[in-house]
Structure 1
Amino acid sequence: MGTTIVSVGRLQAMADNVKSISGRITESADQMTSELQRTLAEWGEGTESRAAFNAFKARVDRCIAEMNEALALMPGAVAESAAHAGHTEQRNTALFR
């Protein structure tokens, strides 16, 4: 197996991109629910269709919440990677002094 080198800047760009995608997913789910409000009213409470939608919506909401929790950890991971990279760079530079 080879070594893959990823710069801190690229890690940060990836984190920013994933965060942006997460935001779009959340917005799309909210928009879908908003657009379905009229249909949900037609289904009424206590119907099988409404129960199925509510179960699906709860599942989607949980998945989005879990995704956002994981994404919230990325800035710390990127900062930790940057610190390790800086330390490694200093150590490697010291070898050539």
Structure 2
Amino acid sequence: MPTRKLLYRRRFLNRPRHHTGAHVIARVELVQYKKSPWYVDSSLRLADCYRVIELDFEIRNKTDVKNALHKAKLLRDLLDDFTKSLEDAVEQWENKR
């Protein structure tokens, strides 16, 4: 089964000595099984110590392309908004201390 690995990143989420096991793994591959057409097999795994979720972004046709890109962009935008709100909350928290 030919596979072209386009992305594999594993990053620990917590700073050193601040809990263990929290990580993210991002994986994107082009795969061909025997004589079938190539497809995109990709996933995003998020783990926070004991909880793990894995989101699949498999692409086999044009409908899958739209859905996978929509899902990835929505997550990106939501994470940007979350980060900005968290920064604002920290600033307000520091001002009230």
> What's the TM-score bracket when you normalise by the shorter of the two chains?
0.3 to 0.5
Higher Cα radius of gyration? 1
TM-score, normalised to structure 1's length? 0.42
More strand by share: 2
